[in-house]
Structure 1
Amino acid sequence: MNFRKAISIPFDTPFMVIDKEQVARNISKMQSLANQGNKDLRPHIKTHKIPELAEMQLASGAKGICVQKVAEAEVMFRGSIRDIFLTNEIFGTKFNRLATLLTQGAEITVAIDNSTSVKQFSDACRFFGVQGHVIIDVNIGMNRCGIDSGDFMKLLFKTMNTPGIVLDGIMAYDGHVNYPEPEKRMMEVKREEKVLQPLIDEFKRKGIVDPVISVGGTPTAEFWAASPEVTEIQPGTYIYYDLHCMQMGLCNLDDIAIGVVSMITSEKMGERLVLDAGYKSVSIDQGVYPSVFDENGSEYKVISMSEEHTVLKSTDSRTHLGEKFIMLPYHACTTTDLWDTTYAISEERDFETIAIKARGKRE
């Protein structure tokens, strides 16, 4: 992130800013990783929620995108994105909304972990006269969504024999594998491979010779990219990176492409400085404060945060009133969803305004 250029944007604070040059570099880096492993890249847009950035990812070589919500899929489709994988379980009438997108030319795949949802998606597709695609979501240790491996065969048989839908493969998300030590992440991926292998073998015995095996996030992408049976990886945070990624050694400070610019509006000289942005502007996911820098790259310690304030430790006795600082988030994805728009800096222009069109799309 170019701190000086971001801070120089002449608008009222606080505001979100991204560095498009760094975004492009981050996109290229992950695409190269996927290419080297002969894997498809299907980035998750929940990090940025911006159709324009999804187009950048596709132009760089991504096969399609992942979304977490039906409403996100609708926004991305209106933004000309066609190949969309809904990686979250849904229920009920939301399947009708997916089927409606299929009638309009979208290519929709949905993750499913129970037979009731299989039937609901089948009913919706047959009612609208379309064919949907399904991937079975398998729990490999996160213990959130996903069917346990012991129940896999029953759901596999049910899905293969249900009209109106096509079974494509397996999804296995491991968002819990976020250890700072890369060796621990690698060993966990090795364990997860052993869980998946017999399930992949069952697909092949059933005649699905080349099933889609869609896995991973930014922390484990490099290891899954080297896994022989995997066909695609679905990282998301890499487009911006954040302090959590830096903590895991996935990026350097310069690679972080998202920040929030804030201004000192109160101070006690020699003791504290108060910014006009708090955790309504920068997510403090898991209770971790952002890192705060001035335009020269000097870091200021965060003492406390509240809804609309961040208190910094003052390092000198001069006034800082009116000075702008940039706050780098611990979690990029949850920070993005706090904003309707972001400013974007680039070499081509001082800044531009971009709407975060899928922001707040939770249904």
Structure 2
Amino acid sequence: AGGGAPPGAGHADGQGARLAGGGAPAGAPRGVVIEVDTMMGRAGVRSVGQAVALARRVVAAPGLRFRGVMSHQVLRGAGDRANRFAEGGGYIERALEARRAIEDAGIAVDIVSTGESWTYDVAATYPEVTEIEGGTYVFLEVPYAYMREFRYALRVMGRVVARPDPRTAIGDVPIDAIGAPNGLPTLEGPDGVAVTAIDHHGVVLSGDADLSLGIGDPFFLLTHQQDVTVNRWDRYVGVRDGRVERIIEAPARGCVH
């Protein structure tokens, strides 16, 4: 559906020229994958016609090699299997429509990269998909709890530093240590205790009844978005069966946080 040049065609041409220039001196063409916007509205071509037009620009650019298409999407509806397959399959089909149109235009498509942790099994039903982009499953996060074949492997440990009243505890985990773009982190037990606030100074744990947590007691928080938690730490402690098994260094995480 749709046709003509992609929005910002001049910008696309400029980017293509920079990519081509970067690969040309070494004589090695740079592979280009086009993103298809299937539902998020943040990046990618918006129609099949735009995908074909941009693929043609890449093919015509010296120093570039067109490789394929990709897409990324999130689940808007319920997390049950039927809805995952219906909604996720619809998004994947949009990426495949672009792939088929590009091939119909005489351009080979080697790569179709799509699917996420919540659609890994959906994407696997499409022979045309060459790569499944799932990554959240490695650590998992609270919004993905419906994917019961995965389990939590990432926690931020804190300790209680204050008890302002019997039903409230203050922990030493600030928002800088975990991030909270999708809501407050979740306390992993005990029952009846929840995170009610978090800021740059610490986290507030509140209970339905008097808390058993004392000063110095440890607690564990589960993240609601694992990627913005992961890039805040230089080091991870690997624990198996209650014992520290490995210290994992992450020197390439970046310096944003």
Q: Where does residue 8 of structure 2 map in the other structure? A: none
Change (3 A) 1:210 1:125: closer
Q: Is the 8 A contact 1:178 1:219 kept in 2?
A: no
Larger radius of gyration between Structure 1 and Structure 2: 2
Q: Where does residue 36 of structure 2 map in the other structure? A: 138
Q: Where does residue 332 of structure 1 map in the other structure? A: 226
Q: Where does residue 243 of structure 1 map in the other structure? A: 142
> Is 1:191 equivalent to 2:87 in the alignment?
no
Q: What per-residue deviation string (whole Å, max 9, x for no partner) do you get for residues 131-152 of structure 1?
A: 2111111111211110122322
Equivalent in 175, 180, 201 of residue 308 of structure 1: 201
Q: Where does residue 38 of structure 1 map in the other structure? A: none
Give the counterpart letter for 1:224 in structure 2.
A
How many Å separate the matches in 1 of 2:222 and 2:86?
A: 30
Q: Where does residue 163 of structure 2 map in the other structure? A: 267
Q: Where does residue 185 of structure 2 map in the other structure? A: 290
Q: Is the 8 A contact 1:221 1:235 kept in 2?
A: yes
Normalised by the length of structure 1, the TM-score is 0.61
Equivalent in 173, 179, 201 of residue 100 of structure 2: 201
How many Å separate the matches in 2 of 1:212 and 1:243?
A: 31
Q: Where does residue 5 of structure 2 map in the other structure? A: none
Secondary structure of the residue that 2:52 maps to in structure 1? helix
Question: Alpha-carbon deviation of 1:195?
Answer: 2.8
Matches within 5 A, 1:338-357: 338-346=232-240, 350-357=244-251
How many Å separate the matches in 2 of 1:317 and 1:221?
A: 40
Question: Alpha-carbon deviation of 1:210?
Answer: 5.2
Question: Alpha-carbon deviation of 1:222?
Answer: 2.0
Matches within 5 A, 1:86-97: none
Count of residue pairs brought into register by the alignment: 243
How many Å separate the matches in 1 of 2:93 and 2:153?
A: 36
More helix, by proportion: 1
Q: Where does residue 163 of structure 1 map in the other structure? A: 62
Q: Is the 8 A contact 1:291 1:299 kept in 2?
A: no
Percent identical: 21
Give the counterpart letter for 2:175 in structure 1.
Y
Change (3 A) 1:201 1:292: closer
Question: Alpha-carbon deviation of 1:329?
Answer: 1.0
Q: Where does residue 126 of structure 1 map in the other structure? A: 24
Q: CA RMSD in A?
A: 2.6
Question: Alpha-carbon deviation of 1:320?
Answer: 0.7
> Is 1:151 equivalent to 2:45 in the alignment?
no
Q: Greater relative contact order (Cα 8 A, min sep 6): structure 1 or 2?
A: 1
Q: What per-residue deviation string (whole Å, max 9, x for no partner) do you get for residues 93-112 of structure 1?
A: xxxxxxxxxxxxxxxxxxxx
Question: Alpha-carbon deviation of 1:301?
Answer: 1.5
Q: Where does residue 78 of structure 2 map in the other structure? A: 180
Q: What per-residue deviation string (whole Å, max 9, x for no partner) do you get for residues 242-270 of structure 1?
A: 11111xx1137x81000011111110352
Change (3 A) 1:256 1:130: same
Normalised by the length of structure 2, the TM-score is 0.83
Alignment gaps of 5+ in structure 1: 1-112
Give the counterpart letter for 2:148 in structure 1.
C
Q: What per-residue deviation string (whole Å, max 9, x for no partner) do you get for residues 289-324 of structure 1?
A: 222235xx5462222222121111244366611111
> Is 1:211 equivalent to 2:107 in the alignment?
no
